[in-house]
Structure formats: C-alpha cells, structure tokens
Structure 1
C-alpha cells in the first residue's frame, strides 16, 4: 500500500485488557442482552491486568535493538489505548518525561475502535432479540460490508486507515512506528499492508487479537514484509496473563 511502504518498521499492538473486555467475558454464555459497561466506549479504562500487560509491552520495547526502536508512537485517543501507550513508553529509556526531548504518543482519531452505533454494548443475543432485522442483514451482507445503524462496517475502517497510513508514510519516511490501537484496526492493517481479500481478512478475524500482542512488518526493499502477527510471547515469557 502506498505511503505506509515508506516506513522502515511498522509495529501495531492492541491495547491491554480493559474493563470492557472483562464485562463481555462475564456475560459470555449467559442470556444477558447487554455487557453492562457504564462508560462510553472512548472512556473504558484498562484493568489491572491490562496495566501489567502494557508495562510488559514497554519492557519488550526497551529491549529492542537500537535500530528497531520506535521513532514515532501513534495511539487511538480512547483511554484504554492511550494509557497502554503511556505505560509502555514509561518503561523505556527513550521516552518522556524522563527525557524532555523523548518520545511521546501522538493521538489520531482514525485509530479509534470500530463504532457499533445502535448495537453498542449489546451481546450477540441482545442484537438477535432487540434488532432481529439487523441480525438478518448482517447474515445476508457478511461482516465485512455490514454497517450497523449509526456505526461502521469493516470496509469503513479500511477507508479511514488508508488515509491514516498514507499520511503516516508522508510524515515519517524511513521511520520506525508503533501504533497502539484496537483489535479490528490490527486486523484491517493486515488487510491493507498485505493487500488481502475480503475472504482472507475475515478468516484472519476469526482469531482473537490478544491484548498487548505484537504485530510487525519490516521494510523489505520494495515494501513492508510481515515479521510476526498477534504475538504474545513477550507476555507469556514474563509470566503476565495473555488475554
């Protein structure tokens, strides 16, 4: 994809475990129609485990060879992502506030999570019961193109991410970038960087993107080449729960 291929390294991570993740896990397999999350999506915070995951991510960043360390960090504005970025950077020697000229996360709203619109906070059962016509429309259109009322489809994510990565390549040619974001954005970044099809990316989407997992691409001479996807080894090796 033009723009992003100007980078030397692209690292993408999902935020650490959030209280919203825990809320959905708590109602999984029950007859609950809502997850019961009190905050708006942008304000959902990290859990204690999520903060530990973010710190472990930071220690992984700190241990990278100097020529692989991020020169730019860009985060979703959502609390759970931005706090992940800040906690991780605090573990490194090249980040502010230890160094007044150190690395600070830049916020870009194009990295926010997929907007669910009228279906926000509902479980699968909740959607079936409260919006049966939408559940049927989803089955008919497929996940990639289905747009919930007031929300976004996965194709919509591709549109805003094309813009983001085009600007990123122009702003930081030859740079080493860390993007801190959400699971759907991680998946759709693969779609764009690796020039995947709808079928291929929806197959990848079936695997849960781990909290604070690492996905990486490296410059291969004519563009970015995949190095690893959804890797949680840094968490497991540190004895931190990989959720």
Structure 2
C-alpha cells in the first residue's frame, strides 16, 4: 500500500490574507502561479504512479479540486472521492483581519494543536476527523479491487496532522514541523510492518521532547 500526499497549489489566500475577509475559505481559488504549480506537479505524480491506477481522495475546497484537475491524471484516476474530512482547519466564516491577527499570536503562544479558534476548530479537532478518515482508508485499501496507491490532495496543516496520526508523532514534534510547500508531495508506503515516509518535513525548531521523524 502507498499513499501520495499532495498539498494544493498556491491559492489567493496564500498571497492575500485579506481575501479571507470577503471570500469563504472553501471558495478561495488558485492563483495563476498555483495553476502552473499543479500542472507542473502532474508529471511528477504520474512518474510515481508508473502507469498504475490510483484512487484519489480530495478535499472538497475549490483550490484542492482545481489542483487535482490540473494534474490531468485522466483515466489513471480510477476513482475520485471528495472527502470533507480532508478539508483545511476551520477558522470560522468570513474573517475579521484585526481579530485574526490577534488569534494567530494567541495560537502561536498557546500551541497550534490545542488552541481552539473561537468560531472554528482546534488542531486536535482536525486530528480526530483524520483518525476516522485513516481508519476508513486503510479498510478500503485492503480490498482487492482498490488500487495499491491512494493520492490525497489536501492542505498543509491537514497533511502534517495526517502524518502525526499515522506515525504516532508527539504533539510537540507536530508543532515543530513546517507545512510542505504548495504542490509539494510526500510519499508514504507500508512495508508490511509499518508505514514509512519518503523524506522528513522541514522543522523550524527541534522538538522540545527530543522526538524525531523516524
């Protein structure tokens, strides 16, 4: 079994935070750069697939579905499932820029995992829904008719938390990791005993508890 994790391409929210004040998070589009990033990622994903079919699980947000469309996988995508549990952490509805700046500072001081956004989710909430998704995914991938590879097109924090849950990383390690870049992938595979990661996430600090991505 193998899982390819891919973050969406650059979105309007990545370059203009004020966009969150006038456009719902789920409706933010890719920028022209993000469209190009997704098109450029297509050949990389296809090389990983080496002609084999893939089952795709994609966050239903506009930017993730646009990323998937630009990969141009065609018939190689044997099935495509829009999976709400892969959505970005919910910060609430349309955001007030002053309040959001205050919340970002509070979240950084409190810890990204446990800090609950007043009208949204904590990282722990996202972790819980990803646990349920992973249980379903492993069951599906165990069925003989399911492709050996799953492609997950999602969001930066969501991808980090999915790996945290899958590998049992500590919360301190999770909070020390950086998001993958836009349209950057990670490949997970199961060696018969445990899941493995093709390369580590960048870290902006050493984990306070000394845990590493192994």
TM over 0.5, shorter chain: yes
- The alignment partner of 1:63 has SS state of helix
Q: Are the structure 2 counterparts of residues 208 and 71 from structure 1 closer, same or farther at C-alpha, using a change threshold of 3 Å?
A: closer
Q: Match for residue 196 of structure 1? A: 169
- The number of equivalent residue pairs is 198
1:180 aligned residue (153, 168, 173): 153
Mapping 1:210-225, distance limit 5 Å: 210-225=181-196
CA contact (8 A) 1:23 1:37 kept: no
What are the superposed Cα offsets for residues 180-206 of structure 1, whole Å, 9 maximum, x if unpaired? 0011111101201111001111001xx
Structure 1 position 74 matched with structure 2 position 57: yes
Q: Match for residue 78 of structure 2? A: 103
Q: Distance in 1 between matches of 2:94 and 2:173?
A: 26
- The alignment partner of 1:211 has SS state of coil
CA contact (8 A) 1:51 1:87 kept: yes
Q: Are the structure 2 counterparts of residues 55 and 63 from structure 1 closer, same or farther at C-alpha, using a change threshold of 3 Å?
A: same
Structure 1 position 127 matched with structure 2 position 101: yes
Comparing both chains, which one has the higher relative contact order based on Cα–Cα distances under 8 Å and sequence gaps of 6 or more?
A: 1
Q: Match for residue 38 of structure 1? A: 22
CA contact (8 A) 1:51 1:84 kept: yes
Shift of 1:65: 5.1
- Which consecutive residues of structure 1, in runs of 5 or more, have no partner in the other structure? 1-7, 25-33, 96-101, 232-243
Alpha carbon RMSD of aligned pairs, Å?
2.6
- The alignment partner of 2:97 has SS state of coil
Mapping 1:1-243, distance limit 5 Å: 8-24=1-17, 34=18, 37-64=21-48, 66=50, 69=52, 71-88=54-71, 90=72, 92=73, 94-95=75-76, 103-117=78-92, 120=95, 122=97, 126-128=100-102, 138=107, 141-173=110-142, 175-204=148-177, 207-229=178-200
- Give the structure with higher Rg (CA): 1
- Which consecutive residues of structure 2, in runs of 5 or more, have no partner in the other structure? 203-214
